[in-house]
Structure 1
Amino acid sequence: MKRFLQSLVFSALLLCDVTRATYLLGAGDPHLISAQSYAQTRHNGRPPLRTLNPTQTDTQCRSRTLDLVFIIDSSRSVRPAEFDKVKIFLADIVDTLDVGPDATRVAVVNYASTVKIEFLLKNHFNKLDLKRAIARVEPLATGTMTGLAIRTAMDEAFTEQSGARPRSRNISKVGIIVTDGRPQDQVEEVSAEARASGVEIYAVGVDRADMRSLKLMASVPLEDHVFYVETYGVIEKLTSKFRETLCGLDPCAMGHDCEHICVNNNASFYCKCRSGFILNPDKRTCSPRREEVRVEVVEDPCKCQAQLAFQKKTQAAIQQLTAKLADVSGRVERLESMLDRV
């Protein structure tokens, strides 16, 4: 019994030391603590071995349209098996998106000491082709020129010539950077330029990634745009986080106050009316389209004043009746709509 109690006390003391050491290790960086906590709480256990399967599909997000460019580090520190994990991560994200020429378009920029655009936004418009293209990407080996990669993405990937939609279309432009090291060039200025041009940047750090550099690259708020995982073996677990972030919500499905038709418009919506109706100034309700009644007054050749007066009175009466009829029709229509809702 005494030995049992001694063992129990020793185990408790050891647990306290481990907890204290873990806290002190991350105490200098609250974002690192948050990222590590996210990884530790969501990725317990050894993940099953996975390979990239281009034919496997997942659920789509249906509301947010993107011009999405992955910027991936394939320097010497990324081992071949780890790079395969990165490609699975990219394919998993593609799987969640609504991909197409009028939906989300995807490009991949691969970098080490040099930069290679693997494919552009205009090259692949379905998930199967995209995932096959991702599966063919090979690591470049040496160096970590992250700033050069961001510059290349800006100058060559996020352009209309390469398949990006015009700014007038208000299509969200998103860059996701995945790296496990410290950039060997400057990233602050080029990242700020990219963000100022309208590109939303997410920075994913793995293992030895420099947290300060990740924060310099990412958009604000940093807690929504900077992620850290301890190994490439658990990076694919971030897929659910990006699914929530990139897909957004379906505004019409979440509820609307359109009288007739709700139309999704990225993160918002607008109302339309059925055929034969026009949208009221409140941009929500609809009224019957009024057809103008034109009555031509034919002048009497004999210039009879009585007949001319009668014709004018008749024309005025017809116009008044037409206006009242349109008003009554509108009221009946709105009453029917209210009864349908009840």
Structure 2
Amino acid sequence: MQRRMKSFLCSLLSLLLSDVLATYHLSAGDPQLIAAQSYAQTRNNGRAPFRTLNPAKMDSQCRSRPLDLVFIIDSSRSVRPGEFEKVKIFLADMVDTLDVGSDATRVAVVNYASTVKIEFLLKSHFNKPNMKKAISLIEPLAAGTMTGLAIKTAVNEAFTELSGARLRSKKISKVAIIVTDGRPQDQVEEVSAAARASGIEIYAVGVDRADMRSLQLMASIPLDDHVFYVETYGVIEKLTSKFRETLCGLDPCAMGHDCEHICVNSNASHYCQCRKGYILNADKKTCSLKQVKAAAVVVVEDPCKCEARLAFQKQTLAAIQQLTAKIELLENLVGRA
């Protein structure tokens, strides 16, 4: 009986394993890909599944705080021409979701392989048709994967005021989205740390055999919110909805506010509140101590008659004192006689 039960359980586990491998297109002999898939599955546990979006049927645009957004895309030899076209479709879909404009979100694209090429700057296109046309004309560079050089170029040349980035005093979020399918051939840790220290938020997107450790070194923290993985370029459009949710869900209060006490998020904006005991002033930013009105004096009848008793005792004591004084006076008069 036990042998038959053990045989049944082994068969069931074998079927489940083969089903999982088939579902995620994994090879049991490829530990790197399995580890990457495991990481991707772990970060998405408990979250809504990705949606495949049709850019022609986008239900609404991103109305978040404006961004200076730079895409850094890998076009090395490992990215086949058809796959690179999928990357460009992903970029075009992302543009469709954003509120693009000179006073809204500005977009630039940095293309890299062994060399780095800035395809267009943040100041180049302020409308979607021109931007999407520029994306369609991007050609792959082939050869190696100099991801660190690409990040450094983006920081030094794309995220500058000369290239269209806005003044830091305007508190415009600066975001870089890196898309790669391989392992960097140069160092990314220090250059990524420098970029983050300069105020650039980095998202790292890995495709197929992308090196997960490198993605983690590049991305901002928390890593669960900044590292993404897809199995192939054919499904990279799944990330469009995820980035739309992320970029349109920016926290205006976290980006800086002028509330004296409490900042409250409200869609893409915010409003101010005061702590208990304070009221919001007319400027809707500062708070003043709430004035407490004096309580009215209310006479309450003493049900136990305690006050009356005390008054009687006082009167009695005063009468006894007066009587004692009179007796002493009489005694003194009698003594003199």
TM-score, normalised to structure 2, is 0.66
**Cα distance in 1, alignment partners of residues 200 and 135 from structure 2:** 22
Distance 1:38 1:92, change over 3 A: farther
Structure 2 counterpart of 1:33:
38
Q: 2:79 maps to what in 1?
A: 78
The answer to whether the aligner puts 1:206 opposite 2:188 as a matched pair is: no
| Whole-angstrom CA distance in 2 between matches of 1:186 and 1:14 | 42
Give the alignment's Cα RMSD to 1 decimal.
3.9
CA distance in 2, matches of 1:270, 1:152: 40
For 2:175 and 2:130, locate their aligned partners in 1 and report how far apart those are by CA, in whole Å.
20
1:171 matched to 2:176: no
Equivalent of residue 283 in structure 1, options 261, 285, 294: 285
Closer/same/farther in 2, CA of residues 136 and 264 from structure 1, 3 Å limit: farther
Q: Is the 8 A contact 1:39 1:229 kept in 2?
A: no
CA–CA separation in structure 1 for the residues paired with 2:19 and 2:118: 44
Give the equivalent residue in structure 2 for 1:15: 15
Q: Residue 72 of structure 1 aligns to a residue in which SS?
A: strand
| Cα distance in 1 for residues equivalent to 2:236 and 2:83 | 10
Following the alignment from structure 1 to structure 2, what is the Cα–Cα distance between the partners of residues 27 and 119? 35
In the alignment, the residues of structure 1 paired with residue 39 and residue 269 of structure 2 have an alpha-carbon distance, to the nearest angstrom, of 28
TM-superposed CA distance for 1:32, in Å, is 4.7
Instruction: Determine if contact 2:50/2:242 at 8 Å carries over to the other structure.
Output: no
- Over 3 Å counting, the alpha-carbon distance change for 1:155 and 1:164 in structure 2 is same
Distance 2:172 2:219 in 1: 19
Instruction: Give the equivalent residue in structure 2 for 1:238.
Output: 239
SS at match of 1:89: helix
Distance 1:159 1:35, change over 3 A: same
In structure 1, distance between residues paired with 2:34 and 2:83: 26
Alpha-carbon distance, 1:18 to partner = 3.1
* Structure 2: distance between partners of 1:265 and 1:102: 18
Q: CA deviation at 1:127?
A: 1.0
Contact map agreement 2:251 2:265 (CA 8 A) in 1? no
CA apart distance, 1:222: 0.2
- Show CA shifts across 1:159-203 (max 9, x none): 000000001000000000000000000000000000000000000
Structure 1: segments with no counterpart, 5+ residues: 1-7, 252-261, 272-277, 286-342
Number of residue pairs the alignment of both structures matches: 260
Aligned-pair distance for 1:113? 0.2
SS in 2 for 1:118: strand
Query: Are the equivalent residues in 2 in contact too, given 1:82–1:232 (CA < 8 A)?
Result: yes
Within a 5 Å distance, the mapping from 1:83-232 to structure 2 comes to 83-232=84-233
Instruction: State how far apart, in whole Å, the 1-side matches of 2:203 and 2:250 are.
Output: 19
